[in-house]
Amino acid sequence: MSDEKGLPAAQVARRSTSYDGLSAWGDRLHWLEALPASGDLVLATWTAEHGVTLDGLPIGNSVHAYGGGSIVANDVGTWVVGASDGQIRRADNGVACTDSPHPHGDLAFGDGLLVCVRETESGDQLLAISPQTGKEQVLRRAPFLASPGLTAGRLTWSQWGSDAMPWDCCEVWVADYDGRRIGGARRVAGGLTESAVQPRWGPDGYLYFISDRTGWWNLYRDRAGRAEPVAPVQAECAAAPWELGYANYAFLPDERVAMTVQQGPSCRLAVAEPGWPVRTVELPYTSLKPYLAVVGDRVATIGSSPNRAPEVALVAVDGSGEVEILRCPELKDQSVDLALPEVMRVCSAGGEVTVLFYPPAGHASGPVPMILRPHAGPTHHSDLRLDWQVQYFTSRGFAVVDVDYRGSTGYGRPFRQALDGQWGIRDVEDCRNVAWHLLAIGRAAPGAVFISGASAGGYTALRAVCEDGPFALAVARSAIIDPVRWTTTAPRFQRAHAACLAHAGSAVRAHEFKAPALLIHGERDEVAPIGDVLALAHSLRRHDRLAGLISLPGVGHSLSSSAALVSALEAELGAYRAVLDGRWTVA
């Protein structure tokens, strides 16, 4: 497998531009754009008159560890959260309107006020801030808060407890607010067995929100204290709320609502309108990020597909199929032979799991070396979209397989909760069964099956080689090592997640490894601190099971900079080749 025709790692890093956090006001559209070299997020602004302009100030926040909701605009200007200090400031002049040691996020405008969430060590605060004077008022305190909205003296937000995750138990609340105090607070939806998220005041005056009370996250409207389904579908109309500021639906003119609809790894755009069935908007995208905004009568979205890199676009919803691309990666070399995925359903433990199988580029048939990838999260899913890291390996003769194991989103609440208390067991079982299946049907080469994951996926990869099975090597980026210990070292937001997933035997133990492992970790990782990985590496070395340790100075959990990604890809490829060349053998 020569490198001569393989996609260079540096090109993968350059091509991996990402966009997030759409926000619109009038004819202005904003988003966050990642700079490939540094991984910094900066403000991008589009208008029909001036096109796209970029601001150099790094933007973002660390609320709930993963941030979100760092942009908001009104008729006066645009406000952002500075990545360096988590404070809200005017985008045009950089002047801050907050001065706090704590970060802010989930920005919204209403009644001339900025409303947002501020996270402190003891919990969250819902704030109302005068953008002119900086005067602020704490409206609500709770362990966790999100989605503030204020319209005509009516306030809404979502909240959940310190012992839960918002995709399991989340409540939507409303209250009156006269500019001085709030009153009449009441819970509208959500509870111990219901996740209600993304509350938003509609142009008709009603409160809208998304709830999984039927087992699927669907859109509802609160009318006179009754939750009324707006667009019932057997699909997920919300993403698991890892970040603040998600907007899986947006209001269009003429009482229409645009929304994302996810089924497994595929996502589409749909429109709900009074008196009509939910209508799919035909687009060239199979993956949509959880950010919709409306500019005029068009919907702004961040879409992609297996042969199309993520792009910011305005799409018509009138049936014309018109798509205006506002921003996409600049690809100087278009000659890459893309590997396109085959969607499979594979039996596992009496049920089925969904798999994306990417054959080597240009490969006809027959068994090949294979890299199986459990996704991060684990409360997440594989995306049906172009992933340049996949192409890095398929361009070198590997097949890549993405697995939506039990616990993934996109399949309803029961499937999502199937991993509770079973992390490192059911996910591993599903990955192992997928690998055995692909070996049995001649798609994978015996002795050349690898497993690779990041974060929670890295944990699954490590657990998978602690048992007898088909995997010749595990690669773990930014991995969790001990879920029980992680309940104390994880960010405040995720400690309940760790507690929900963990069990007494969930730790990764070096003496149980049946195959070697490559560990790749950022030294500044605050989600999964590097200490546990260093200890595991020491033990694996003593047991002759360490394929390598790549410690990345100055790098956090996501390996977002070009240099970090290049180092990780090249180390991973080198580890696979060591096994294939016989330099790593396991008795």
307 and 360, same domain (yes or no): no
378: preceding bond cis by omega (within 30 degrees)? yes
95 and 61 in contact (C-beta within 8 Å)? no
Specify the CATH number for the domain of residue 149. 2.130.10.120
pLDDT tens for each residue of the chain, 587 residues long: 445 578 999 989 888 888 999 999 999 999 999 988 888 999 999 999 999 999 988 999 999 999 999 999 999 899 999 999 999 999 998 899 999 999 999 999 999 999 999 999 999 999 999 998 999 999 999 999 999 999 999 999 999 999 999 999 999 999 999 999 999 999 999 999 999 999 999 999 999 999 999 999 999 999 988 999 999 999 999 999 999 999 999 999 999 999 999 999 999 999 999 888 899 999 999 999 999 999 999 999 999 999 999 999 999 999 888 999 999 987 655 667 899 999 999 999 989 999 999 999 887 788 999 999 999 999 999 999 999 999 999 999 999 999 999 999 999 999 999 999 999 999 999 999 999 999 999 999 999 999 999 999 999 999 999 999 999 999 999 999 999 999 999 999 999 999 999 999 999 999 999 999 999 999 999 999 999 999 999 999 999 999 999 999 999 999 888 999 999 999 999 999 999 998 765 53
Write phi, then psi, for 407 (nearest 5 degrees). Answer: 110, -10
Nearest by Cα to 501 from 551, 428, 579, 394? 428
Residue 140 belongs to what H/E stretch? strand 136-142
517 lies in the same domain as 418: yes
Which segments within 277-320 are labelled E, that is strand?
279-281, 287-288, 293-295, 298-305, 308-316
- 79, 227: one domain: yes
Which uninterrupted H or E stretch holds 390?
Answer: helix 388-394
Calculate the alpha carbon distances from 6 to 242, 260, 282, 298, 396 in Å: 34, 35, 34, 40, 5
CATH number at 397 reads: 3.40.50.1820
Closest CA to 337 of 311, 368, 358: 358
Q: Same structural domain for residues 531 and 448?
A: yes
> Do residues 347 and 323 share a domain?
no
pLDDT of residue 332: 57
- Cα–Cα distance between 280 and 269 in angstroms, integer? 6
Alpha-carbon 543 to chain mean position:
35
The reply to whether 481 and 556 lie within a common domain is yes
Widest distance between CA atoms in the chain: 72
- Buried/exposed 365-390: b ≥16 CB within 10 Å, e otherwise: eebbbbbbbbbbbbbbbbbbbbbbbb
Of 327, 354, 384, the position where a domain reaches its end is: 327
Query: Does one domain contain both 213 and 355?
Result: no
Cβ neighbourhood burial of 136 (10 Å; 0-12, 13-18, 19+): buried
Distance between CA atoms of residues 574 and 571, nearest Å: 5
Phi-psi region at 8: left, alpha or beta (left = phi > 0; alpha = psi -120 to 50): beta
2 inside domain:
no
pLDDT digits (tens, 9 = 90+) for 383-430: 999 999 999 999 999 999 999 999 999 999 999 999 999 999 999 999
Question: Nearest-CA neighbor of 115 among 123, 126, 124?
Answer: 126
- pLDDT for res 587: 37
Instruction: Output b/e per residue, 257-267; b: 16+ Cβ within 10 A.
Output: bbbbbbbbbbb
Residue 474 placed within a domain: yes
**140 and 277 assigned to the same domain:** yes
User: For residue 3, is it within any domain?
Assistant: no
In degrees rounded to 5, what are phi and psi of residue 325?
A: -80, 120
Same-domain pairing of 302 and 434:
no
Helices vs strands, H then E, count in the chain: 9, 36
Query: Do the domain assignments include residue 9?
Result: no
Looking at residue 4, its pLDDT comes to 59
Instruction: For residue 585, tell me if it sits in a domain.
Output: no
CA atoms in the 13 A half-sphere facing the CB of 160: 27
- Is the Cβ–Cβ distance between 553 and 1 less than 8 Å? no
25 and 163, same domain (yes or no): yes
Please report whether residue 334 resides in a domain. no
Give a yes or no: residue 527 inside a domain. Answer: yes
Exposure class string for 504-514: b at 16+ Cβ within 10 A, else e: eebbbebeebb
Domain-terminating residue out of 327, 353, 376: 327
Q: Please give the residue range of the domain that contains residue 431.
A: 342-580
Indicate the number of domains in the chain: 2
222-234 pLDDT, tens digit each:
998 899 999 999 9
Phi, psi of 388, rounded to the nearest 5 degrees: -65, -25
**Position 22, amino acid:** L
Answer for the pair 196, 164: CB distance below 8 angstroms, yes or no: no
Q: Can you list the positions of beta strands (E) in 340-470?
A: 342-348, 351-358, 368-374, 399-404, 444-454
Same domain, 90 and 234: yes
Whether 239 and 133 share a structural domain: yes
Q: What are the φ/ψ torsions at residue 409 (nearest 5 degrees)?
A: -95, 160
Residue at 5 is within a domain: no
Of 327, 361, 377, at which residue does a domain stop?
A: 327
Q: Which of 27, 76, 32 is nearest to 49 (CA)?
A: 27
